[in-house]
Amino acid sequence: MSAKIKVERLNLWYGAFHALIDVGLSVREKAITSLIGPSGCGKSTLLRCLNRMNDLIDDVRIEGSVRIDGQDIYAGTSAPTALRKKVGMVFQRPNPFPLSVYENIAFGPKVHHLAKADEMDDIVEDSLKAVHLWDELKDRLDENALALSLEQKQRLCIARLAAVRSEVLLMDEPCSALDPLATLRIEELMRYLRSDYTILIVTHNMQQAARVSDDTGFMLLGELIEFGRTTDIFTRPQDKRTEDYITGRFG
């Protein structure tokens, strides 16, 4: 499997605070990569570098390179809008628009002019099918998405990305608002989506990383301490700090 995302010597400052320090990793295509580490270690910041969501914050300085499919996403010629279509994001709190289920899915395709009006129904159906929501919601497409359960909302947010044909899914603690059973079902969905998407997940939950991911990176205080196959990280960590973290000595 080839590298979908290649990060090299990435440094990021929020004002004077050095939040990412010389981070480098390569993310395999159509695999699930998890980033673990204690709060404030920079894992969400790293995730947000990959779709340039950090651009929205004032006073951020980024150095180094992030290449996706070989293209430097911070090069002057790349448009963040095209990047974010390709690299979608799922947030910690499920955040559907207070619109109907249908309009939530249709938002992305409309913004990117991906569909004519008569194709939109198919896109909505396919996107909901991709996240196994179609059977539950096919009769509730006009209902306000805020009325859905948390798990359904989170699936809907993933379906929104399917609708714009994202290739990479960045998931920022996607299950932290969900109960354990819903969490398991979302993890199942992630494994199912793995055949079509490159998935990066930031999680607090080490068991989740162990259960779901192929590769794992451990971050601490802005540095990527260790990165490798999930089985290796969890069974034979090379770094003492990784071992301390996964065995629960801190964090």
Q: Which of 4, 43, 85, 241 binds other proteins (CB under 8 A)?
A: 85
Min dist. Cβ of residue 86 to other proteins (A): 8
| Region from 24-32, 74-82, 187-195, 231-239 binding other proteins, contact rule CB under 8 A | 74-82
Which of 2, 71, 95, 231 binds other proteins (CB under 8 A)? It is: 95
Q: Are 245 and 251 in contact (CB under 8 A)?
A: yes
CA dist 11 to 14, 40, 78, 84, 199, Å?
10, 15, 19, 21, 22
In the complex with other proteins, the residue whose CB is nearer, 164 or 220, is 164
Is-contact 215 226, C-beta < 8 A? no
The string of DSSP codes covering 188-220 is HHHHHHTTT-EEEEE-S-HHHHHHH-SEEEEEE
Site string for other proteins, 148-177 (x = CB under 8 A): ---------x--xx--x-------------
Distance CA 219, CA 41 (A): 6
Burial bucket for residue 115 (CB in 10 Å: 0-12, 13-18, 19+): middle
Of residues 21, 99, 177, 184, which one binds other proteins by CB under 8 A? 99
Q: Pattern of binders to other proteins over 107-126, x per CB under 8 A?
A: xx-xxx--------------
Out of 84, 153, 155, 241, the only residue in the binding site for other proteins (CB under 8 A) is 84
| Residue 83 interacting with other proteins (CB under 8 A) | yes
Cα-based angle 50, 63, 83 (whole degrees, multiple of 5): 25
How many residues of this chain interact with other proteins, rule: CB under 8 A?
A: 26
The dihedrals phi and psi of 90, each to the nearest 5 degrees, come to: -115, 130
60 contributes a contact to other proteins by CB under 8 A: no
56 touches other proteins (CB under 8 A): yes
Which of 7, 31, 53, 159 forms a contact with other proteins (CB under 8 A)?
Answer: 53
Of 90-98, 131-139, 224-232, 236-244, the window that binds other proteins (rule: CB under 8 A) is 90-98
Question: Minimum CB separation from other proteins for residue 95, in Å?
Answer: 5
193-232 footprint of other proteins as x/- string (CB under 8 A): ----------------------------------------
Question: Which residues of the chain form contacts with other proteins (CB under 8 A)?
Answer: 51, 53, 56, 80-85, 88-89, 91, 93, 95, 97-99, 107-108, 110-112, 157, 160-161, 164
